[in-house]
Structure 1
Amino acid sequence: MHQRPSAATWILLTLAMACSGAHAAQKGAPSNLFDELRPLTGELARYQYLIAATPQLTGNDRLLAQQMLAFSENELGLYSEAVRDFPLRNELPKGLTAPPADRWQAVDGVDAIAALARNRRLVMVNEAHHDGHTRELTLLLLPRLRAEGYTHFAAEALDGRDVSLVKRGYPIASSGSEYLHEPLYGDIVREAIRLGYVIVPHEAADATPQGREDGQARNLYEQVFAHHPEAKLFVHAGYAHIDKQRGRIGSTRPMAMQLSKLSGLEPLSVDQTDVREQNPRSEALAYHTFRHALRKFETLTQAARQPLDSNDPGDLPARPAADIYARIVATFHPSEPIALLRIDDHTPWSARPGVYDLNIILPPANPAPSDYTQGPLWLSIDGKQQAVLPPANRGHRPPWLSLGGLRVAVPVDSEACAKKFPCLVEAHYASESADAVAADRYLFLRDARNVLYLRPGAYRLRSVGADGQTLNERAIVVTRP
């Protein structure tokens, strides 16, 4: 029997965890965590292991496990949950202020990058590995940069050992790292192949911080510019790999900086990770509201054994402080990826001038808080009951998954799961093999209905149980409404 915490205690603890800060890079990883994860090749198996293991860890080990859990959630289509459960916070330069509307204007981010890339030969766009929303921009840019003469595409997740990738036309589970198992990353690779880019895997064998940056830069130079001096290269990478100066990763010289030295080319570096929906305002507001209500109750009844403090909380809850992302959103109201340009000379706005050239601001994707009042969901993992947070964003999948109307919302449900959870429902292109990266997928944690976002066409719709076995499979055809 598991002992369930009181509703108030559970809600406060889980909200606090969801609203706490996190950092991307962790050192001194627990070797046993990686040893246990290494043989788990499926995303569902890794997710279940991390759900069970994370509560047993402390300090940096727990933070690393939370980050890896967010990776798994992202790969399983739980995009809002991944952002909520690992609220990555970047430390921005001191004194940085949001650009005011009287001096800056919002423009379409894809248009801005395409215009800036026209006279360049090297474009680099970064992503947050646990936030699939940061992959939408690259998918939208692929045809635009191809039209501007870009010839090569490099993606951090690809593995050079998949020699059949281009001939096959789509990635499979063994084509690269776990990041590639996320459906949008799979579509990035499909689209790059379809458009005729030369695909360039560039991961380095040296795993030390500087060795990895140097190795990636050297691989890109040797595979592209050393043999094709007129090539134009588009790189999709993580976090600070795209930086042109040291700083975000300490004294380590980033990959972009090293590639620039080797090639003599200055990259157009585009950041999406510094100013993004790091911690949904809906979750932070829910935390502040509930914490205030609990403090008010304790003050009025004088029944709390350990009051949070002796001050009367007042009649209104304190609102969470607005970060720079929230202030930009409140000023410019983005509904698509935007760049900010100075009104007088069209210079792009960068939170770190010299480190990268411009920030792309993505619209908020998670307006509704999780329904913490229902308490945790309970999953049976290896015969034990494990508590997980309720669905983020009230269970609604983020609207950016439609890719501006390219994909259609297709209703799915958990009927085939036979009330055994977690249960994965995924769609595969009918023309692709069973081990292909899914077109979209969603992990059900309870009986519910939801949607997959799919392009018009033929698919195999499959339900997979917690043990990895297929429960149901059927053919579907998606058409535009």
Structure 2
Amino acid sequence: MCIKHKLLIMRNIYLSAFVLLVYTNHLYANEPSELGFLYKQVIDAPKNKSYNDAIIKVIEVKDKYKDDLQSQFAINQPLTTLYSYVGQYEKAISFPTDDPLITEDLIESLFPISAVDKILTMSKETQIVMINEAHHIALHRTLTTSLLQKLWSSGYRYLAIETLSKRDVDINIRGYAIERSGTYSNEPVYAEMIRTAKKLGYKIITYDDSSGNEREKVAAKKIYNASFSINKNAKVIIHCGYSHILEKNLKDKRIWLANELANITGVNPLTISQTNLMESKTLEFENPIYNKILKKFNPKNPIILTDNLGTVWSTMPGQHDVDVIWPRTTYTNTRPDWYIKNYDLISFEGKWCRDKYPCIIEIRREHELNAVPFDRLRIEQKPNEKIVLRLPSHKSIIFGFNEHGEQVFKGPTKNH
């Protein structure tokens, strides 16, 4: 079995952290020891603030396989996820994680409409809305966040989230994510999605703590038990990764979550993909139609393509319902504009790192210091340009950590 296939198996396993090391030892007995611990770096980094050390370790493994493209794809998955944790969004989209899906070019007869508006319209015809993400693309979480208020008004009351761990039994009481809540939820945009949902009143459903052949079936049953078994008219949003939204699988015989849910509930879910038409700094690993769409329509916000009859376009018709296309990211003061817009900002000061680099800066709410930070940024070397971090609406505290995760600074933000 090639390293790519082994690492993809590990990706499906590592959300259940308690089984990680068992599978690591089994799968990687005959491989260099570093390979078995790539995803362990993703899990362990938030626990001990060792983001920099984790990134360096993954890069070292990546360098060993620099001539093996398929292994590079697999190794890039934990690497880009770590970059997303520490606010290095441009790096997170710089390394390809798979071959691009090449789809038939049918866009000439299509036109763009607002993704949010169309999803809201389509959501009224179902009780299940499934939105996928690439786990290293924090932007994808903003789509779900932007829909929460409007879907609440349409009767949606549950948000099922792939990344959450059953260890955090208090998340619905607490109302926000902490380090042990899950894996990807340690990324600030993900954590804000959870916080927004709880503020609106959603019940958070933890469902993905199984692995192997039964993972999708067990997940569907957990979602059903937490919602439809209580109220047959329940309406549920599911935020998950990649292929879990597939209603049919034309590639192999695996039955994914959307299919399992349809079978158990009798509901035809609305399945929304953000992962087939993504931007990349490595342009040859983009779906070529993505760039054609941007050139033709020049979108400023996420769009969906439709024909003149209102039928939505999908890169995988019959497998998922619709694709969302985002414009390319623009940056201000090194940060993505979509990430910092509408927020108060604070300029980085070298004293937060004791003028030693690399370092990690975190912005945390003063009265919820155990929460996942509102912003986190890795600064690799002394900046030669202005760098900003975003601030929450409440009083906040700045934390600085050195390259080994040791705290070197703590202080209040000046303008809060």
Please tell me the TM-score bracket, short chain as reference. Answer: 0.7 to 0.9
Aligned to 1:46: 54
Structure-2 separation of matches of 1:247 and 1:279: 30
1:438 is the counterpart of 2:373 = yes
Shift of 1:280: 4.8
Structure-1 separation of matches of 2:224 and 2:319: 20
Matched letter for residue 337 of structure 2: P
| Deviations, residues 120-147 of structure 1 (Å, cap 9, x unaligned) | 1000000000111111101101111111
Mark the CA change 1:394 to 1:428 in structure 2 (over 3 Å): closer, same or farther: closer
| Deviations, residues 328-350 of structure 1 (Å, cap 9, x unaligned) | 000111111111222x2111111
Aligned to 1:189: 194
Secondary structure of the corresponding residue to residue 413 of structure 2: strand
Structure-2 separation of matches of 1:113 and 1:25: 34
Structure-1 separation of matches of 2:393 and 2:333: 24
Structure-2 separation of matches of 1:221 and 1:90: 34
1:450 is the counterpart of 2:397 = no
Aligned to 1:68: 78
1:99 is the counterpart of 2:37 = no
Mark the CA change 1:65 to 1:472 in structure 2 (over 3 Å): closer, same or farther: same
How many residue pairs are counted as aligned between the two chains? Answer: 383
Secondary structure of the corresponding residue to residue 340 of structure 1: strand
Matched letter for residue 330 of structure 1: K
Aligned to 2:247: 244
Mark the CA change 1:153 to 1:159 in structure 2 (over 3 Å): closer, same or farther: same
Shift of 1:24: 12
Calculate percent identity across the aligned residue pairs: 26
Mark the CA change 1:347 to 1:160 in structure 2 (over 3 Å): closer, same or farther: same
Aligned to 2:20: none
1:476 is the counterpart of 2:413 = yes
Larger deviation, residues 154-163 vs 181-190: 154-163
- The TM-score, its normalising length taken from structure 2, stands at 0.85
Q: Would the aligned equivalents of 2:133 and 2:239 in 1 still touch at CA under 8 Å?
A: yes
Shift of 1:473: 1.4
Q: List alignment gaps of at least 5 residues for structure 2.
A: 11-26
Structure-2 separation of matches of 1:477 and 1:247: 56
Aligned to 1:465: 402
Matched letter for residue 52 of structure 1: E
Aligned to 1:401: 339
Q: How does 1:102-141 map to 2 (within 5 A)?
A: 103-141=109-147
Q: Would the aligned equivalents of 1:87 and 1:278 in 2 still touch at CA under 8 Å?
A: no
Structure 1 outlier segments of 4+, above 6 Å? 22-25
Q: Would the aligned equivalents of 2:347 and 2:387 in 1 still touch at CA under 8 Å?
A: yes
Alignment match of 1:79 (pick from 64, 84, 89): 89
Aligned to 2:272: 270
Alignment match of 1:26 (pick from 8, 12, 37): 8
| Deviations, residues 155-184 of structure 1 (Å, cap 9, x unaligned) | 11111221221221211000112x111000
Alignment match of 1:216 (pick from 219, 233, 241): 219
Matched letter for residue 54 of structure 1: K
Q: Would the aligned equivalents of 2:96 and 2:282 in 1 still touch at CA under 8 Å?
A: no
Q: Would the aligned equivalents of 1:30 and 1:61 in 2 still touch at CA under 8 Å?
A: no
Q: Would the aligned equivalents of 1:457 and 1:478 in 2 still touch at CA under 8 Å?
A: no
Larger deviation, residues 58-67 vs 69-78: 58-67
Shift of 1:395: 7.3
Shift of 1:85: 2.2
Secondary structure of the corresponding residue to residue 84 of structure 1: coil
Q: How does 1:175-324 map to 2 (within 5 A)?
A: 175-177=181-183, 179-205=184-210, 207-208=211-212, 210-247=213-250, 250-281=252-283, 323-324=288-289
- The TM-score, its normalising length taken from structure 1, stands at 0.74
Mark the CA change 1:280 to 1:140 in structure 2 (over 3 Å): closer, same or farther: farther
Mark the CA change 1:477 to 1:221 in structure 2 (over 3 Å): closer, same or farther: farther
| Deviations, residues 296-344 of structure 1 (Å, cap 9, x unaligned) | xxxxxxxxxxxxxxxxxxxxxxxx99810000000111111111222x2
Secondary structure of the corresponding residue to residue 225 of structure 1: coil
Structure-1 separation of matches of 2:240 and 2:6: 14
Aligned to 1:56: 64
Structure-2 separation of matches of 1:321 and 1:242: 21
Secondary structure of the corresponding residue to residue 107 of structure 2: coil
Structure-1 separation of matches of 2:6 and 2:115: 25
Q: List alignment gaps of at least 5 residues for structure 1.
A: 1-21, 285-319, 367-392
| Deviations, residues 237-290 of structure 1 (Å, cap 9, x unaligned) | 000101110135x32111101110010000000010001113454xx6xxxxxx
1:331 is the counterpart of 2:269 = no
Matched letter for residue 159 of structure 1: S
Matched letter for residue 327 of structure 2: P
Matched letter for residue 319 of structure 2: V
| Deviations, residues 50-89 of structure 1 (Å, cap 9, x unaligned) | 2333323464555432211111001111111011023543
Indicate the structure (1 or 2) with the bigger Cα radius of gyration: 1
